[in-house]
Amino acid sequence: MNTELNCNDKHSKLNATRVTRVLYPASEEEVIVAIRDAAAADQAISICGARHAMGGQQFGSDTLLLDLSALTELQAVDQELGFVEAGAGLMWPELLEGLLEQQEGQDAVWSIRQKQTGADDLTLGGSLAANIHGRGLQMRPIIDDVEAFTLIDGSGCRHRCSRGENKELFGLAIGGYGCFGVITSVLLRLTPRQKVERLVEITTMDRVVSVLEARLASGCLYGDFQFSIDESSSDFLNRGVLSSYRPVDSARGMPPARNDLGTTDWEELIHLAHHDRAKVFQVYSDFYLSSHRSLYWSDTHQLSVYLEDYHSKLDHDCGAKVPASEMISELYVPREHLTRFMEKAATLLRDGKVPVIYGTVRLIQKDDESFLAWAQHDFACIIFNLHTEHDREGIARSSAAFRALIDVALEFGGSYYLTYHRWARRDQVERAHPQFCGFLEKKEHYDPGHRFQSEWWKHHRNLLKP
């Protein structure tokens, strides 16, 4: 049996899907040929990058899977405008390395503004398709960093999309989860690379927004807040480590090695997060406090260790009867409601039946360009990683917990991220993403033959059927 055809997402491993064939086109021409051949054979296509989305967006059963990870061409940086054309299959570490290599020896270097935190081997195409964000204190999602991109539609036609050309497709495909075609390359807007200093303090949820906003006002570019996950403590989802990053004089000497948590540290933290949630906060905050005022680069400080397949090892080490993984969810609330939201979330999760393994608060600015915009306001973003056992009861517990969290976010006029699961009820999708029905109509318009299909799209089409 060809195991390559049995696909699954890499993090949650809860999206097993069988496809009929996998192709790895390495150029735009090969993408066009693959799509035209599929169209001639009336074969549906699914599109993947690094396979980290967790709602079945990248696979469709019985589809031809186009894996775009070989589209890795990087052109020369436009030194005047600070733009670079990059292949949609490029992952962040390769992109950063390529940019640094090209500009080696220059005083002023262009680099990325934002990327995801927590994982690096994610493609540009996947990042656009989910309209991702990082920990910028005053940033919109990645659509704001995109000048243009090339999209190949369901009949194999090429479209350049920007704010001036094919504007509607520009806003649909960014945050469009592969429903409108294959993005082959992206013209990214870069920013000058800077030295930044990490500022660390321990604080509580009621101060998070005001401190992050004050940090922003004092010139910090990035920041977030990691909260305690110890459900037996009054600190649960309340006390945490607030880090922010402030530009410093470029003449300051950079230490030879980055002062950061390495693979072994993360292995220990992950182990503790599963077995000793009081201690994990202590270890994490001790490290962060010890790194107060350490220097980093504005781009590479956004890279982080990701432990491939860590849960299989954890399951093995503790003799778990059922395999498990962490399911992520991201909730959004107007910033003034963050504390009340977190109090209610703590009440929901305090019984520990669905342990919180990791959680963060960040800020996002309103996105008024993408069609299916999730950043509908200047929100506080709350990320929860919930331990999820892969049996019927475990999945039911986690999905119920996420639905309950979405209800609380909605109560405060908030929303949730569509990337991580498809567990929301119909009424929740409709309230959190009122543009979703319009999005499905646009999909019919631009892809009437349903050339591009995924489990995520099929699920929402059926869920929202009139």
Binding site for ligand FAD (CB under 6 A): 11, 47-53, 57-58, 68, 88, 116-119, 122-123, 125-127, 129-130, 132-133, 177-178, 182-183, 419, 454
Give the Cα separation of 297 and 250 in Å (integer): 10
In angstroms, what is the minimal distance from the CB of 149 to ligand FAD? Answer: 9
**Cβ-based burial of 314 (10 A; exposed 0-12, middle 13-18, buried ≥19):** buried
In angstroms, what is the minimal distance from the CB of 211 to ligand FAD? Answer: 20
In angstroms, what is the minimal distance from the CB of 175 to ligand FAD? Answer: 10
Looking up tokens 């049995």 gives 6
Q: Which is nearer to ligand FAD, 112 or 119 (CB)?
A: 119
Radius of gyration of the chain (CA): 22
In angstroms, what is the minimal distance from the CB of 361 to ligand FAD? Answer: 12
Q: Which is nearer to ligand FAD, 51 or 344 (CB)?
A: 51
Count of other CB atoms within 10 angstroms of residue 203: 17
In angstroms, what is the minimal distance from the CB of 101 to ligand FAD? Answer: 22
3-state SS, residue 445:
helix
In angstroms, what is the minimal distance from the CB of 459 to ligand FAD? Answer: 12
Q: Which is nearer to ligand FAD, 28 or 235 (CB)?
A: 28
In angstroms, what is the minimal distance from the CB of 130 to ligand FAD? Answer: 4
In angstroms, what is the minimal distance from the CB of 364 to ligand FAD? Answer: 9
**Cβ-based burial of 448 (10 A; exposed 0-12, middle 13-18, buried ≥19):** exposed
Question: What separation in angstroms does the CA of 317 have from each of 224, 310, 311, 441?
Answer: 32, 11, 10, 48
Q: Which is nearer to ligand FAD, 52 or 140 (CB)?
A: 52
Q: Which is nearer to ligand FAD, 117 or 344 (CB)?
A: 117
Which residue, among 326, 328, 239, has the nearest Cα to 284 in the 3D structure?
239
Which residue, among 100, 123, 106, 81, has the nearest Cα to 298 in the 3D structure?
100
Q: Which is nearer to ligand FAD, 174 or 196 (CB)?
A: 174
Instruction: Assign 3-state DSSP to the chain and report helix, strand, coil percentages, each to 5.
Output: 35, 25, 40
Q: Which is nearer to ligand FAD, 117 or 298 (CB)?
A: 117
Q: Which is nearer to ligand FAD, 118 or 323 (CB)?
A: 118
Tokens, residue 161: 């999309």
What single-letter amino acid sits at 138? Q
Q: Which is nearer to ligand FAD, 189 or 350 (CB)?
A: 189
In angstroms, what is the minimal distance from the CB of 362 to ligand FAD? Answer: 8
Question: What separation in angstroms does the CA of 356 have from each of 70, 131, 318, 329, 451?
Answer: 36, 25, 18, 11, 39
Give the Cα separation of 151 and 172 in Å (integer): 11
